[in-house]
Structure 1
Amino acid sequence: MSTPTSTPRRPRRDALENRAEILTAATDLIARDPHASIDAIARSAGLSRRALYGHFDDRDTLVRAVIAVGAQRFNAIALTIDDTDARVALARLASRLWREAAHVQVAASIALDEAHVHDTADALAPVRRRVAEIVRAGQNDGTLRTDVAAPTLARLVEETARAVITRMDASSPEARSIAVRAVLSIAGLSWTESAALLDRHPSLLDDEA
């Protein structure tokens, strides 16, 4: 006689919404303070500490979930970059990442916390590989600087983009343009070359860039 198998219960809609609210609150708070407390995150999400612990066992589990959400966004963006011109590819990647400024900021903040630096590095491996591929292609065809090795230049591009995005007011109308130009500059373009590139490809700074 067979016994009926139980079907796993789907989370209730309000439970899914509460989890999403917690992740959003954690992203916003940790972007400003990498040591934001569980109590502060729960209050920002409009929930009790006990309710938060119903979704995440502890703060480390929550932080890892925040890292995973941001990394999924970054890695998905990196996969959409298929421009054959390395300069355009870097500009487009920087522009699209700008739309995820909150997640970039939280990744930068978490990266400063040694307890999670390896989690952040592992989660962002795909986007880092894409940056390295773009840089290597640009060096091979002479469109990007060749005075430093490709891995070093890729890291400089990454650090420049993160520094600009985390230190600028995302509401500024010039913020995205400055972030893109900073990336192009570290990659070897002069300010006039960057301006000319953006003039030729105005879509790079559009909301749908």
Structure 2
Amino acid sequence: MTSTASVSRRPRRDAVENRAGILAAATATIAHDPHASIDTIARSAGLSRRALYGHFEDRDALIREVIAAGAQRFNDIALDIREPDARLALARLTARLWREAAHVQVAAAIALDETHVAETAAALAPLRRRVMEIVRLGQDAGELRTDVAAPTLARLVEETARTVVTRMDASSAAAPAIAVRAVLGIAGLSWREAAALIDAHPELEAIL
């Protein structure tokens, strides 16, 4: 026999699953088309426009949640990187962010839409602070290039990672390693030094 309590829980569980499905569909759709309509997103989620509006007030509300979800994943990864060697920290951060390629692509796509630029920047503040921290420590330790000021180098690292992830074919087995080497290259390592760093850390190879 089904209890009243279990019956009352089902709609809530279904609602959570539907909402998660909508967010996943929106992430995948916007990654390919920054201007995807609410109808397109609803179809991707296997829902009607009306059903989608049962979860989100409008497209902006949905985009805001997509931004928040992606930023939370990025920030959590960044705050979990605690390598004392800045070179290894950047390599590990890039490799782990590669696994979030769809969210990176959405962040890049949304950056083209001025409506949400400030909101995206604010949401990603913890990630940017951590990258800056890594860069400053690396410069102080002589591990990263010092001919570029830390704020500029941190931004170059961020833009390089984002560009490579959004431009590379995610199905390519070599793509993650190329992303890591590109970031290390802009940070001041030669291609040989970057390759040696990756080879010296089997656990990094596992991430890649």
TM-score, normalised via structure 1 length: 0.93
Within a 5 Å distance, the mapping from 1:154-193 to structure 2 comes to: 154-193=154-193
Note the C-alpha offset of 1:79. 1.1
Note the C-alpha offset of 1:206. 1.3
Q: Is the 8 A contact 1:111 1:117 kept in 2?
A: yes
Distance 1:53 1:123 in 2: 24
Q: Is the 8 A contact 1:95 1:205 kept in 2?
A: no
Look up the match of 1:59.
Answer: 59
Look up the match of 2:3.
Answer: none
Q: Deviations over 1:107-165 (max 9, x none)?
A: 11001110000111000000000000000000001110001100000000000000000
Note the C-alpha offset of 1:170. 1.0
Look up the match of 1:97.
Answer: 97
Note the C-alpha offset of 1:202. 2.3
Q: Percent identity?
A: 76
The one-letter code of the counterpart of 1:124 is L
The one-letter code of the counterpart of 1:33 is D
Note the C-alpha offset of 1:205. 2.8
Note the C-alpha offset of 1:12. 1.6
Look up the match of 1:194.
Answer: 194
Distance 2:206 2:54 in 1: 41
Distance 1:194 1:13 in 2: 46
**Structure 1 or 2: more helix by fraction:** 2
Distance 1:57 1:206 in 2: 42
Q: Deviations over 1:82-123 (max 9, x none)?
A: 000000000000000001000000011001110000111000
Distance 1:28 1:58 in 2: 18
Look up the match of 1:80.
Answer: 80
> RMSD value over aligned CA atoms?
1.1
Distance 1:114 1:204 in 2: 36
Look up the match of 2:151.
Answer: 151
Structure 1's consecutive aligned runs of 4 or more residues displaced over 3 angstroms after TM superposition are none
Distance 2:160 2:87 in 1: 15
User: Which blocks of at least 5 consecutive residues in structure 2 are unaligned?
Assistant: 1-7
Name the count of aligned residue pairs: 200
The one-letter code of the counterpart of 2:72 is Q
SS of alignment partner, residue 34 of structure 2: coil
Look up the match of 2:47.
Answer: 47
Note the C-alpha offset of 1:204. 1.2
Q: Is the 8 A contact 1:176 1:205 kept in 2?
A: no
Distance 1:93 1:204 in 2: 10
Within a 5 Å distance, the mapping from 1:69-148 to structure 2 comes to: 69-148=69-148
The one-letter code of the counterpart of 1:159 is E
Distance 1:35 1:186 in 2: 31
